[in-house]
């Protein structure tokens, strides 16, 4: 379903009299609330987990010789939520690609930002994420390398009639049921709220199974 269809389905499930909406733009009154409830429900679902796979995407940028720190906007990312720090790579060309080692800032700073290590330049082998979400590499790049990795985006926003959620259609009703919970809460309708919550949980269980990392188990202990 697209944004408009989600709103129409919410109006139907809520039993709101009349037709429509015919558009999500410039609505007033009760239909404006319908649009806003769908917007809020979609944002709420996206904010439940920081590692939704549908919010994960790739990036690549070139280092600058002598520069260790790179801000998100400095590498052309305007929608960063969090870096996926277990999948950073560095290479001059595809034949010499290696993984970079991640160190939390609290251990990176005393280990690599001390004395002569501060100014050591070479091919980077370690990186960290500073509190401001900038990337910081050690050693300082001594030439132009490609950094390749993945990150999680900030929540998506629906704005036009034909905009669709980032996750697949079988899970779109989660948005409708969550929005119906908001509607029922605003109207003080406990039966409608309970029904919507029950249906929401069923769809969310399937969405989480589909779009969250699968649990893995380590090797057995000796």
Give pLDDT tens digits for 27-83: 999 999 999 999 999 999 999 999 999 999 999 999 999 999 999 999 999 999 999
Of 123, 170, 147, 139, nearest to 59 by C-alpha is 147
Q: What is the mean pLDDT of the chain?
A: 94
- Burial (CB < 10 A; 0-12, 13-18, 19+), residue 4, is buried
pLDDT tens-place values along the chain, 222 residues long: 999 999 999 999 999 988 889 999 999 999 999 999 999 999 999 999 999 999 999 999 999 999 999 999 999 999 999 999 999 999 998 889 999 999 999 999 999 999 989 999 999 999 999 999 999 999 999 999 999 999 999 999 999 999 999 999 999 999 999 999 999 999 999 999 999 999 999 999 999 999 999 865 444 555
Cα(23)–Cα(4) distance, integer angstroms:
6
**Is the distance from CB of 54 to CB of 167 less than 8 angstroms?**
yes
Q: What phi and psi values does residue 213 have, to the nearest 5 degrees? A: -55, 140
Q: What is the CA radius of gyration of the chain?
A: 23
Of 51, 70, 54, nearest to 62 by C-alpha is 70
The DSSP line for 22-74 is: S-SSS--HHHHHHHHHHHHHHHHHHTT-TT-GGGEEEEEEE--TT--EE-TGG
> What's this model's pTM, rounded to 2 decimal places?
0.86
Pairing of strands 121-122, 140-141: parallel
Token digits of residue 91: 């290479």
């Amino acid at each position: 379903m697209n944004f408009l269809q989600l709103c129409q389905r919410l109006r139907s499930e809520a039993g709101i009299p009349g037709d429509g909406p015919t558009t999500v733009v410039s609505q007033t009154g009760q239909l404006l609330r319908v649009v806003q409830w769908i917007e809020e429900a979609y944002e709420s679902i996206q904010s439940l987990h920081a590692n939704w796979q549908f919010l994960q995407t790739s990036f690549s940028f070139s280092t600058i010789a002598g520069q260790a720190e790179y801000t998100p906007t400095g590498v052309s990312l305007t929608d960063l939520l969090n870096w996926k720090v277990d999948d950073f790579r560095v290479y001059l060309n595809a034949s010499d690609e290696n993984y970079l080692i991640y160190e939390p800032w609290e251990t990176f700073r005393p280990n690599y930002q001390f004395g002569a290590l501060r100014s050591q330049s070479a091919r980077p082998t370690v990186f960290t994420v500073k509190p401001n979400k900038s990337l910081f590499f050690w050693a300082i790049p001594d030439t132009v390398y490609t950094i390749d990795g993945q990150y999680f985006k900030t929540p998506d926003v629906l704005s036009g009639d034909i905009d669709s959620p980032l996750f697949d259609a079988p899970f779109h009703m989660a948005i409708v049921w969550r929005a119906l919970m908001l509607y029922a809460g605003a109207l003080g309708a406990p039966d409608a709220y309970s029904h919507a919550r029950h249906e929401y949980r069923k769809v969310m269980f399937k969405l989480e199974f589909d779009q969250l990392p699968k649990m893995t188990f380590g090797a057995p202990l000796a």
